[in-house]
Amino acid sequence: MALTNDILARVCISHFLSAWNSRIFEYSAVLFLTSIFPGTLLPPSVYALWRALSAMFLAPAMGRQVDKTNRLVVVRRSIVFQRAAVACSCALFAAMIILNVGASATSMLIKAGFIVMLSAFACVEKLASIMNTVSVERDWVVVIAGSSTADLRQLNSIMRRIDLFCKMAGPLAISFLIGFTVLGSVWTLLILNIVSVFVEYFTIARVYRLVPALATRPSDVDHAGDSDSADAGLLAAENDISDSGVSDSAVPASASPWSTYIHHELFLPSFALSCLYFTVLNFGGQFVAYLLTVGYKPSVVGVLRTASVVFELSATWIAPIVMKKIGAIRGGLWFVNWQAICCVVAAVAIFHSRSPSFGDAPIESTDKFLFVFASKTTAAAVVAVVCSRIGLWGFDLCAQLLIQEGVEPESRTAFSSVESSFQNFFELLSFASTIIFDKPAVFAVPASLSANSVIVAAILFAVYARRTRKHLIHWPSWLGRKVPTDVQDTIIQRELNDEV
């Protein structure tokens, strides 16, 4: 089925509301807790820890729910549970502000009770968000695009732009509102979630009706034909075993999600993508705190963060062009190696910015560089981090396309849910690195670990590329080297010819 403007518009509306509410809540929850409990990072740290742990351990269970349930039902459930969890959290935040729970006179038992309830709702919100993401981004878009690789690339790029826009604009909007009134921002977030749930609920249903293929799952078709094709399937399996000794890389449908993921031929690119979540070399809280400590003004950091998001958005236009020209595998190699180079430069620059008196005194005015950067070494680190974002999101789109097209429909959600668990695990490792090395003077250690994680990701993807394409370096014809051709390149070329 062709991707029509009607379908595209409704998918984008639903995804925008989901991403916007998720980004705002994720960011504002930390701000609310910080304002309620000033002077300590323990409550937001505990809150974030439980949220991430729930995602790491329970994401595969969410994938099984996606597999067993009708597509529309599971997405609607994710919308309702996610919005209900946010609404309940907002009610708790409002009660904590009104009752002044953060005051020193308040009992520790009451404070702990509120934190436990907030953490529980945060876990529900995170798991519902994972269910929605796995359903829509890894299943629905593939079915909607059908056999058209061009439509799939377009859908992936547009949805990633929406994610990045919400990542940039959502926190800015809630920060501006909190500056006026914390309690008012809590009520605003509550009302926004209640209103948006109805729009999302009926918009996604319209997409479901416009794409009849969404009503059928591969497992349904398989079960319908089991009685007629059991003998044929058994004979085919025996032939496969007799010809090759093993049954390719297929994983039985009854296997656990972890087994499905680890034994799949696309494990390496997926795991490489997960490794990239172990990083402090982005404009998250850790790197921002480092920049503020070494002498950057908050306004300058805000401008640099905006520039980083602009580079990330540019990758959503660059990656589809690169994939169309050279394919997703070669494009992924280019992007991940570009990110590795940039992260190594950033880590080296941060290492050389250390000094015995680091953080004890403000940077001398003679070290000022271009009136924006605090020093030449931190300038190199900031520029490298900003440039690395093109590699990150370019590789993300390439790997996502490979996974969407290469993972069997019946294994798609199980695969994606375990992938989400690994991503949350590596994100926890990045938090742990700055908890252990919490001083700005030793920030070079987490930065070096982050750069090494990107290098590992590049090596893993290179192994996959070498295994799939039978060669790693694509020699240009003018060097006089014969470029080997394989099945993968032939398929890509045929797809490009079909599109033309």
Residue 407 lies in a domain: yes
Q: Are residues 46 and 193 both part of a single domain?
A: yes
* 237 domain residue, yes or no: no
pLDDT for residue 284 = 74
pLDDT the model gives residue 448: 93
C-alpha–C-alpha distance, residues 163 and 137, integer Å? 11
**How many CA atoms lie within 13 Å of 162's alpha carbon, on the beta-carbon side?**
21
Any domain includes 15:
yes
Nearest to 266 by CA among 491, 463, 60, 477: 463
Separation between Cα atoms, residue 400 and residue 273, nearest integer Å: 9
pLDDT tens for each residue of 333-379: 999 999 999 999 999 998 887 544 444 444 443 344 444 555 777 88
Question: What are the backbone dihedrals phi and psi of residue 147, each rounded to the nearest 5 degrees, phi first?
Answer: -90, 5
Distances (CA, A) of 498 to 149, 192, 266, 491, 495: 10, 45, 25, 11, 5
Query: What is the reported pLDDT for 229?
Result: 42
Residue 233, in any domain of the structure: no
- In this structure, the answer to whether residues 283 and 188 fall within a common structural domain is no
Instruction: Say which residues have a Cβ less than 8 Å from residue 413's Cβ, sequence separation at least 6.
Output: 63, 64, 66, 67, 134, 135, 138, 139
Query: Same domain, yes or no, for 166 and 293?
Result: no
For the chain, residues with pLDDT lower than 50 are 221-251, 253-254, 355-371, 478-480, 483-488, 491-492, 494-500
d(CA 157, CA 164): 11
Residue 109 domain boundaries:
1-217
- Residue 202, amino acid: F
CATH number, domain containing residue 484? 1.20.1250.20
The pTM for the full model equals: 0.67
**Furthest CA-CA distance within the chain:** 81
Helices (H), 181-284: 182-210, 218-224, 226-244, 257-262, 267-275
Of 191, 217, 243, the one marking the end of a domain is 217
What's the distance, Cα to Cα, between the start and end of the chain in Å?
A: 18
**Domain presence at residue 229:** no
Q: 64 and 130 share a domain?
A: yes
Question: Does 312 lie in the same domain as 445?
Answer: yes
In a domain, 240, yes or no: no
Residues 184 and 261 in one domain: no
The string of DSSP letters for 340-361 reads: HHHHHHHHHHHHHT--TTTTTS
- Residue 493 CB neighbours (<10 A): 12
Q: Do both 419 and 500 map to the same domain? A: yes
Distance in angstroms (rounded) separating the CA atoms of residues 388 and 345? 10
Handedness of CA 477, 479, 482, 484 (dihedral sign): negative
Q: How many domains does the chain have?
A: 2
Residue 451 domain flag: yes
Asked if 213 and 260 sit in the same domain, the reply is no
Contacts 24+ apart (CB under 8 A), 351-355: 351/444, 351/447, 351/448, 352/377, 353/294, 353/377, 353/378, 353/381, 353/444, 354/441, 354/444
The tokens for 295 are 């002498």
Q: Are residues 284 and 379 in the same domain?
A: yes
